[in-house]
Structure 1
Amino acid sequence: MKTAAALVLLLGAGTAHAQTSVAFYGLVDAAIVVEDGGTAGRVTKVTSGAAAASRFGLRGVEELGDGMAAFFTLEGGTKIDTGEIDAAGTIFNRQAYVGLRTRFGSVALGRQYTPYHTAMVSIVDPFNTGYAGSAKSLFPHNGTNIRTSNTITYATPKKNGFDGELAYSVGEQSRSAAGRQFGGAIGYAAGPLAVRLVYNNKNTDVAANGATPAVDRSIGRNILLAASYNAGWIKLHSGISSDKGDNAAPLINANNPYGGVRPTPSTDGRSYLLGISAPVMGGTLLASVLHKDDRTRFNQDANAWGIGYLYALSKRTGLYAAYGHVDNRNGAGYTVANNTESGSGDTAYNLGVRHSF
């Protein structure tokens, strides 16, 4: 936090000279989490970021004239339960990018969210990929499906409700495509309706390391169709994801949480979600049902559902409670995740508080 404070002072000192608007912001989230159903038995803990990852960050914009502006974001995660930085050896592990915006769109370079993640959070999942009801339990939404380093992005301006985005992540491996990833999205959002079609492609080759030769694997591909409709008294959410190839749909908990024969991550599957969010008794009710259709010979399908309630004490502070459950078939290994943890069993409860600044 001392580093972040020093950066605030440094950037603040340059504000008057550069006419740049700089903001320091953050989110603090902690919950009591109870997990059950795995070989670890019932686990009770205090978790940082069950609803949304705790974070601090700096973001700024400088207007350059003629419709052009420079912008940046530096955002790091922190663990409220222990006070640690979220990822060892990094400060701004969540987002770190700089870019230019013009009337023809915006370009940014650095560590950024993928188009797949943006659609999942903003359209598909009523839980915004957080809480015990998170779509992460069955949808391939972890690792490089969320954010990528060494990334170049382009976003079109929105016109008549339509917009698009492209993202390309450089693998930075000598004579190898390992780690290379690209994706894009086209969408329409106007009035109560939002629809988005997303494509994600990641090379899962393993680059050579010294005397160890490279390992050729397959390309993992994700195609996501996202849609939501806000009727005022209720908002409907839906998503269908088609996932093919090696590492296209890794298990969110790869540690064999149920014991026995280790589950096999699907290399050909579909994920489905239907959900709602609605104002109820001064708060917001969230609910969703999910299905995983594994089309490989293992046929490791799963069903899941979640329910939650958010209650705002103010514009910045709120309380929440959530419950999620997964029903695995044929030795599948899906667990009930939240925003920051993969989960250890087929059932989980959350009771927490969050504050933004």
Structure 2
Amino acid sequence: MHSKSTLALAIGAACAVLAGAAGAQTRVELYGSVDAGVSYVNNARGNGQTLVDSGNRSPDRFGIRGSEDLGGGYQALFGIESGFSLDTGAQKNPNKLFQRRTFVGLSGPIGTVSLGHMPDFMYDYLRFQSNGIMGSAYFFHPGNLDNQANQFQIDNAVRYETPVMRGFKFGAMVGAGEQPESSVKGRHYSLGAQYASGPLKANLAYTKSRDRAFNLGATLGLPSVLGQALSSDPSAVDAKYANFNADRVTSFGATGSYTIGRFTPHAMVSSVKLETRAGAETQRNVELGTDYALTPADTLGVSVATSKFGEVRWDQFNVINMYRFSKRTTLYGAVAFQKAKNGVAVIQGLAPSSTDKQVVSRIGLHHLF
């Protein structure tokens, strides 16, 4: 009996050691973000509107990611991520469960290769120096053409990123169009570069796309662009009126920030050129701002931005105060004011104003898990 007990204990101890080793080599975690609050906009198609909306400071999402240590400095990686609306429980895209990021990859001493459905570098590399670094979705540029709100991802993508070398990191990705009638239809390319050293951070990004659709009627309040009739109704069923269809889209952006004591000034420029057989139109955005640490837990952010598309210009002033109860939970209040020239005001994420001015205020709670 004694020998059998000793054997059982030995086997149990060995299993525990092996389980511990496996746990040290493989990591899988569930993560996500939930954000909800109350917003008031003074003019949404002519009326004041109170909203209980979500995903404003950071998109509502959940995901599973993991890695396995393969030895020799190599790791296998994977991730799946889904977006949803906390206020209604609905999926962001009812046709795709994991619509934000899905990939499998391999990392090693010479970099990381990933395959799947992933955002371009306009989002991944520029977003942390945009709109107060971690501000409000209302601060994004009209129409989100430069993809700071991650509403565009590349399907069938192959992505490569270098290791960090003397503060620099570079990335490149291509999305195969997979259209049998054309080798270029639906194809996308994206390039990115990052630099971080002490208080200085700087980023560049470029994306070239074919055959992308934009809901310019609802997001910019425009009746037509390059001869394509548009509807300002976001629920319009007929896609030819709800969307603007671009043959080619060229996006470029640059951001930078520098921390000086309690201040973190930041700047961003971006341009998005939409081309069809009828011609081309470009949106250009310039943004300046700073974050100021009132206390270690309390940050005040202010920014101003100018966006121009065709004859229409939008000038916007933003203020946000973020109080961190912990590393995961933040209470925040935000206000944005926009004035348009040669068009109607349309703060990102809201219905267009009936005039050239629009104001929105918000108080919200954000939690990471």
Q: Indicate the TM-score class for this superposition, using the shorter chain for normalisation.
A: 0.7 to 0.9
**Partner-residue secondary structure (3-state), 2:129:** helix
Aligned to 1:230: 259
Instruction: Report the AA paired with residue 336 of structure 2.
Output: G
Give the match for residue 222 of structure 2: none
Q: Report if the CA contact (8 A) 1:133-1:322 is conserved.
A: no
The answer for the alignment partner of 2:347 in structure 1 is: 336
Write the distance in 1 (CA, Å) between the matches of 2:169 and 2:49.
Answer: 44
| Alignment root-mean-square deviation, CA | 2.8
Where structure 2 has 5 or more consecutive residues not aligned to the other structure, the ranges are: 1-18, 214-244
Name which of 274, 282, 285 aligns with 1:268.
Answer: 282
Alignment-mate amino acid for residue 185 of structure 2: A
Q: Tell me the alpha carbon deviations over residues 221-244 of structure 1, each in whole angstroms, 9 at most, x when there is no partner.
A: 112121111113110111111322
Match of 1:327 in 2: 339
TM-aligned CA distance change 1:203 to 1:70, over 3 Å: same
Q: 1:129 to 1:166 in 2, by over 3 A?
A: farther
Is the contact made by 2:123 and 2:149 (CA closer than 8 Å) also made in structure 1? Answer: no
CA distance in 2, matches of 1:93, 1:324: 29
Counterpart CA distance in 1 for 2:62 and 2:209 is 29
Q: Does 1:287 align with 2:302?
A: yes
Q: Distance in 2 between matches of 1:136 and 1:95?
A: 24
How far apart are 1:272 and its partner, in Å? 0.2
What SS does the aligned partner of 1:116 have? helix
Equivalent-residue separation in structure 2 for 1:222 and 1:307 (angstroms):
27
Q: Tell me by how many angstroms 1:310 deviates.
A: 0.6
The 1:233/1:129 distance shift into structure 2, 3 A limit, reads closer
Q: Residues 187, 73 of structure 1: CA spacing in aligned structure 2 closer, same or farther, 3 A cutoff? A: same
Per the alignment, do residues 179 and 40 of structure 1 end up closer, same or farther by CA in structure 2, a change over 3 Å counting? farther
| Structure 2 SS opposite 1:171 | coil
Deviation string for 1:61-84 (max 9, x for gaps)? 101011110111111122211222
Aligned pairs for 1:86-235 within 5 A: 86-128=92-134, 130-135=136-141, 140-141=146-147, 146-176=152-182, 177-204=184-211, 218-235=247-264
Separation in structure 2 between the aligned mates of residue 245 and residue 284 of structure 1, nearest angstrom = 37
- Is contact 1:179-1:203 (8 Å) kept? yes
> CA offset at residue 136 of structure 1?
5.4
Question: Residue 70 of structure 2 aligns with which residue?
Answer: 64
Tell me if 1:243 matches 2:254: no
Contact 1:222 1:241 in 2 (8 A): yes
Structure-1-length-normalised TM-score: 0.79
Deviations 1:122-175 (A, max 9, x none): 223315463433345676326877422221111011111111001111222122
d(CA) in 1 for partners of 2:144, 2:23 = 50
Per-residue CA deviations over 1:249-280 (Å, capped at 9, x if unaligned) read xxxxxxxxxxxxxxxx9812321000111111
Question: For residues 154 and 145 of structure 1, do their structure 2 counterparts lie closer, same or farther at Cα, with a shift above 3 Å needed?
Answer: farther
Q: CA 1:343–1:236 in 2, change beyond 3 Å: closer, same or farther?
A: farther
Residue equivalent to 1:258: none
Structure 2-normalised TM-score?
0.77
CA distance in 1, matches of 2:194, 2:101: 23
Deviation, structure 1 residue 205: 7.1
Q: How many residues align?
A: 312
Equivalent-residue separation in structure 1 for 2:208 and 2:345 (angstroms): 23
User: Which structure ranks higher in relative contact order (CA pairs < 8 Å, sequence separation ≥ 6)?
Assistant: 1
Q: 2:241 matched to which residue of 1?
A: none
CA displacement at 1:326 relative to structure 2: 1.5
Tell me the SS of whatever aligns to 1:21.
strand
Residue in structure 2 matched with residue 316 of structure 1 by the alignment: 328
Of 237-246 and 124-133, more deviation after overlay is shown by 124-133
Unaligned runs of 5+ in 1: 1-12, 207-215, 248-264
Which secondary structure state, in structure 2, belongs to the residue aligned with residue 36 of structure 1?
Answer: strand
Identity of aligned residues (%): 28
- Secondary structure of the 1:245 match is strand
Q: Aligned to 2:93, what secondary structure does the other structure show?
A: coil
Range with greater deviation from structure 2 (166-175 or 81-90): 81-90
Letter in 2 for 1:86: K
Secondary structure of 1:117's counterpart equals helix
Paired AA for residue 191 in structure 2: G
Residue type of the alignment partner of 2:202: V
Return the structure number with greater strand share. 2
Write the letter of the residue equivalent to 1:221.
T
- 1:39-54 aligned at under 5 Å gives the runs 39-54=45-60
**Aligned partners of 1:54 and 1:44: how far apart in 2?**
20
Distance (whole Å) between structure 2 residues aligned to residue 138 and residue 86 of structure 1: 16
Instruction: Tell me, yes or no, if the aligned pair for 1:71 and 1:100 is still in contact at 8 Å.
Output: yes
Which letter maps to 1:79? Answer: S
AA aligned opposite 2:258: Y
